[in-house]
Structure 1
Amino acid sequence: MIDKKDIVIITGGVSMGDYDYVAPVLKNSGLNVRFDSIAAQPGRPIVYAESDKKFCFGMPGNPVSGLVLFETIVKHFIYKVQGHDFHPIVHKFTLKKKMTRKKSSRKSYYPVELNNDNTVSAINYHGSAHLNAYANAYGIIAMERGVLEIEEGEIVDVRQI
């Protein structure tokens, strides 16, 4: 699979279910699996494997998780392998309404919309299967690990998507 490619990206089959075979298959193919999950939401399951200048990412099959992980991890990696630095388009905006979450054990990404008054608001988002939330998103903001809320009026970094 990877013999004639520099980078392979696989979607689906990376979680811990009965039919998630990507990590074991990569291990059996001679690649060194460096990690098989990260502390991020959406997108906790992600597999990264490498061998002799060959690289493979196993991405979640969930479209929202795949989008967020590609934008925040894989795209940077691809640019770096090509000898470039990736600089995402990030703008500072005022948050129109307070954002809260119940758990802060992982870095979490949330879709936001740009308002007419040049502020941003979190889009009503029900988790990584909620693809519609991202269809109308201007960008994403991150809540870092350990952060439970972002106050109304706070300046936030919005990564344009």
Structure 2
Amino acid sequence: MVTVNEAKEKIIANTSHLSTQNRSLADAAGYVLAKDIIAPIALPSFRQSSMDGYAIIHSDVAENGTSLKLAGESKAGQTLTPDLKPGSAIRIFTGAPVPESATAVIMQEHTEVIGGHVLINEYPVPAGKNVREVGRQIKEGTVALTAGTYLSPGSIGFLQGMSVSQATVYRKPKIGLLITGDELLKVGDPLSHGKIYESNSAMLIAALAQDGILDIELKYAEDNLASTVQALIELLEQNDVILASGGISVGDYDFVGTSLQEIGAETIFYKVRQKPGKPLLFAKKDEKAIFALPGNPASSLVCYYEYVFPAIRKMLGHDNPFLKSLKLPIKYAYSFDGERDEFLKALVEEDEVMPLDGQESFALRSFAIANAIIYLPVSQNKVEAGDLVEVHLLPF
């Protein structure tokens, strides 16, 4: 049995970035860059106005109310920029080219047009006011985005603004999902005594979808060794990561651990000193990661977020693959006995965290409203209201 921190260290040490692929920018959102992107042009590529107003030479304004001759117009998209001479002003609009001789733009709210002249009701006027110089955002030939950057909507817009059409990214893993348990029914089956509706597959598929991972192969195995071994062999043929749900404890009908031995997988660890989710197994087979998750739904989801999530995020290229962690005051006192660290389903509200009712390993109702997990090590097995605790924020 390993500790929580030992389990995480072993998982990260035994997972690597996946191979890379070139994707069109339109299809690259949600991926992580595997190579730096160099700016092919400067942004902006010409001097731009950041305001609707008037382009001027700032030294022409000697006092409040200075009058300048109106000598033309520059609008967005205009390819020819009018010349600006001393003592003159050019009407200009946001995003329009600023004449080379202009040194400032006065916003129109600080001006007044009388006849063919513009009164400047601002003094003094600093050089460069409201002018976006060439390369203000990014200079041509410099690194626009570094490897390891998550391609968010903002990233995509930034790159397309430089006419970048492709990006080299880490590909997303293919997931094999194995569900075991003769007691399980599929949605729509008639409910009979002793049976339950299987929910872990939908739960784990939804969790994977939060990272944009949709290539998932789902198989069910009967509670016997032959069926479990065959399902694992088939899933390993086509997938990078195997998630097996159930069949990993010490019951007479738990065959996942034995099946992994049968197919020659290397067990990195089995069992973690935690509650819930003690019977977690992590193994490898030909560089493919295998997670055998507990069958109880809440245990399974805790193990997914605390262990599978960071492994997959590392494969995707994220530099910090773990759930975001912070310290928050706990709303209620909480204590526990035993020698296992505890993970509590929780709700973060107004800068404090509240443990939810229903912490049992089978209970998903509390997970349905949780937005965080409280991590309490054995060394912190008794906390009072207001004490700071470690909180892991769930992805949304």
- Aligned in 2, Cα 1:50/1:158: closer, same or farther, shift over 3 Å? same
Give 2:288's aligned residue. Answer: 54
Identity of aligned residues (%): 29
Deviations 1:64-106 (A, max 9, x none): 0111001001111122234433142334322122111122x11
SS in 2 for 1:84: coil
Q: Which range moved further: 16-25 or 83-92?
A: 83-92
User: Contact between 2:344 and 2:359, CA under 8 Å: does it hold in 1?
Assistant: no
Residue 97 of structure 1 aligns with an amino acid whose one-letter code is Y
User: Contact between 1:106 and 1:146, CA under 8 Å: does it hold in 2?
Assistant: no
Q: Tell me, yes or no, if structure 1 residue 11 matches structure 2 residue 242.
A: no
Shift of 1:126: 4.2
Q: Using the alignment, how far apart are the partners of 2:273 and 2:327 within structure 1?
A: 25
TM-align CA RMSD: 1.7
Alignment coverage as a number of residue pairs: 159
- Name the TM-score, length of structure 1 as normaliser: 0.89
Residue 324 of structure 2 aligns with an amino acid whose one-letter code is I
From 123, 127, 148, give the equivalent of 2:356. Answer: 123
Q: Using the alignment, how far apart are the partners of 1:55 and 1:121 within structure 2?
A: 34
Q: Using the alignment, how far apart are the partners of 1:114 and 1:127 within structure 2?
A: 20
- Name the TM-score, length of structure 2 as normaliser: 0.38
Listed as ranges, the matches of 1:96-111 within 5 Å are 96-103=331-338, 105-111=339-345
- Aligned in 2, Cα 1:87/1:34: closer, same or farther, shift over 3 Å? closer
User: Contact between 2:309 and 2:322, CA under 8 Å: does it hold in 1?
Assistant: no
From 324, 329, 342, give the equivalent of 1:94. Answer: 329
Listed as ranges, the matches of 1:33-72 within 5 Å are 33-72=267-306
Q: Using the alignment, how far apart are the partners of 2:359 and 2:373 within structure 1?
A: 15
Greater Cα radius of gyration, structure 1 or 2: 2
Shift of 1:114: 3.1
Deviations 1:52-72 (A, max 9, x none): 212211111111011100100
Higher relative contact order (CA 8 A, sep 6+): 1
Give 1:80's aligned residue. Answer: 314
User: Contact between 1:22 and 1:58, CA under 8 Å: does it hold in 2?
Assistant: yes
